[in-house]
Amino acid sequence: MPSARVHLADVLRTADASRTGALWKLDGAARQLDANLVRLPAATVVTEHVEPDLDVLLVVLEGDGSLQHAGEEEQLAPGALVFVPRGERRSVTAGPDGLAYLTAHRRRPGLTIARTPAREGGEPACLLSRICPACDRLSGDPAAAYCARCGARLPTS
């Protein structure tokens, strides 16, 4: 089971200032919840995306920025708590001082190998540059620079 207590202010304070993306994530194989502490540098944009399967709760801890969702722009500041329902298009933009926030959502099931029908066109292009090194999520946006789930920088191809 995951550790029951973490001081997020301590994680933010002690993390190297140049470190961005997921600074902390909930771990433990038996958990039913995922949570990530994400820090974005100033003016960073988590590109618009849709999370089709999971509702997400976002809590702002430091800095400011904005969240585009439900066709509107919502300003983010410390203490803001926003519920973003699954299927809703969203993007996050960090303000001039950067942005640190916690996300929480139901845990995704692990990846499985399944038999799929043959497709025309041969093998798909390599997707390694679209897999988040912090949370293993495959980005649906081939141009994304940051993970839509945890905010970690995606590998460059």
Q: List pLDDT tens digits, range 45-56.
A: 999 999 888 999
CB 93 within 8 A of CB 43: yes
The CATH code of the domain at 8-109 is: 2.60.120.10
- pLDDT by 10s per residue, the chain, length 157: 456 688 999 999 999 988 989 999 988 777 889 999 999 999 999 999 998 889 999 999 999 999 999 899 999 999 999 999 999 999 999 999 999 999 999 987 666 666 655 555 444 456 677 778 787 777 777 778 888 888 888 887 5
Residue of 45, 46, 23, 44 lying closest to 35 (CA atoms): 23
Q: In this predicted structure, what is the pLDDT of residue 88? A: 95
Q: In this predicted structure, what is the pLDDT of residue 147? A: 82
Alpha carbon separation from 22 to 29, 36, 120 (Å, rounded) = 19, 6, 38
Provide long-range contacts, Cβ within 8 A and 24+ apart, for 106-113: 106/32, 106/33, 106/34, 106/54, 106/55, 107/31, 107/32, 107/33, 107/34, 108/34, 108/53, 108/54, 108/137, 111/136
Domain boundaries, the chain: 8-109
Instruction: Return the CA Rg of the chain.
Output: 16
DSSP string, 17-34: TT--EEEEE---TT-SEE
Q: Tell me the backbone φ, ψ of residue 7, rounded to 5 degrees.
A: -100, 100
Q: Please provide the average confidence, as pLDDT, over all residues in the chain.
A: 85
